[in-house]
Amino acid sequence: MQAFRPNPIVRDALSDTLENFRFDIRHLGLFGSTPPHPAKTTVGVSYKLVFLFRGQVRFESGALHFSLTPGDVLIVPPFVRYTAVGAGDEPMEYGYAYFDFADPAMETDFATLFACSSPVCLYGVLDEFHRQAAHHLIDHLDPQSPGAHLTAHLILEHLMLGMLRCQLNAAPGLERVLADPSAQLVHRCIDALRRMEPADFTVNRLCEEVHVSQSYLYKCFQKAMNCSPNRFLTLYRLKLAERELCRSSATIQQLAEQYGYTSAAAFSHVFRQYFAVSPAAWRRGRRSGIEKKP
């Protein structure tokens, strides 16, 4: 006779941390190539995960260089230009996921949690069993089938859980990261930005809103986001502008004025720096159904 052995599941800090995020998944898929592997240069407006299933891949972004092997996961933040190319004489295949957050404040938490204001690689996140399971689910995912959106979210959350466990093993006490005063100040800044018109986004105005000096603001942004307040404001403004660009029929000049640029040419110049194409070309590509490339 077998006795019943209860196995209660209780809440834990790692699960609570993951549940604080609400992801808006944009695209999930597979990409592969055979030798000779072509190089792909990409820039995106959303966060991107790359998780290698087989072969080897080299990623380069400015001075950063990563070599991925099966099981590794690369986190690429928005507005980062990078080049990926398969390495060696074997076929290469990786999965990729583009996603955003339901609230801009969650982006700050995510960037702080994984120290990913620039691309970062987490090594050995997926073992062979979980690689095979993730590959099977993505390969058989039909975007038109009932439940596809939920399936994609579950795959993404499972990847995130593996990434958090990897981080926890590397840095015990991870659940206390978000209590850092610098991260809390960045939160306050994002709350202030949400109440402001984009044309008013300036460091001076931000300091007035959160009642700190420019030097302290700079120090906190460097610590929490690894970038200056000015760069953060540029990225934040561009992300809002990109969404409006794809959703509205406003002219480029109207968008430039709405988001605080002196002219359509000035807006286009900054937009091209981060997206590698003009606002008009980006709008045409999105509206013609051309999605971000893997």
Task: Phi first, then psi: give them for residue 68, nearest 5 degrees.
Answer: -100, 140
The amino acid at residue 170 is A
Q: What is the pLDDT of residue 150?
A: 92
Q: Tell me how far apart the alpha carbons of residues 46 and 292 are, in angstroms, rounded to a whole number.
A: 9
Q: What is the pLDDT of residue 255?
A: 92
pLDDT in tens, the chain (294 residues): 566 666 677 778 788 888 888 888 888 999 998 888 888 887 677 899 999 999 999 998 877 889 999 999 999 988 777 888 888 888 999 999 999 887 777 887 888 788 787 889 999 999 999 999 999 999 999 988 899 989 999 999 999 999 988 877 765 444 455 557 887 788 788 888 888 888 889 999 999 999 999 999 999 888 877 788 998 898 888 888 888 887 888 999 999 999 989 999 999 999 988 777 899 988 887 655 444 444
Q: Tell me how far apart the alpha carbons of residues 204 and 287 are, in angstroms, rounded to a whole number.
A: 37
Q: Tell me how far apart the alpha carbons of residues 25 and 151 are, in angstroms, rounded to a whole number.
A: 11
Q: What is the pLDDT of residue 251?
A: 93
pTM metric for this prediction: 0.69
The amino acid at residue 162 is G
Q: What is the pLDDT of residue 291?
A: 42
Q: Please tell me the CATH code under which domain 180-287 is placed.
A: 1.10.10.60
3-state secondary structure the chain: CCCCCCCCCCCCHHHHHHHCCCEEEEEEEEEEECCCCCCEEECCCCEEEEEEEECEEEEEECCEEEEECCCCEEEECCCCCEEEEEECCCCEEEEEEEEEECCHHHHHHHHHHHCCCCCEEECCCCCHHHHHHHHHHHHCCCCCCCCHHHHHHHHHHHHHHHHHHHHHHHCCCHHHHHHCHHHHHHHHHHHHHHHCCHHHCCHHHHHHHHCCCHHHHHHHHHHHHCCCHHHHHHHHHHHHHHHHHHHCCCCHHHHHHHCCCCCHHHHHHHHHHHHCCCHHHHHHHHHCCCCCCC
- Decide if 234 contacts 270 (C-beta within 8 A): yes
Q: What is the pLDDT of residue 239?
A: 82
Query: Of the CATH numbers 3.40.50.1580, 2.60.120.380, 2.60.120.280, 3.90.79.10, which one belongs to the domain with range 13-174?
Result: 2.60.120.280
The widest CA-to-CA distance across the chain, in whole angstroms, is 80
Domain residue spans of the chain: 13-174, 180-287
Q: Tell me how far apart the alpha carbons of residues 48 and 294 are, in angstroms, rounded to a whole number.
A: 9
Beta bridge partners of 97: 28, 49
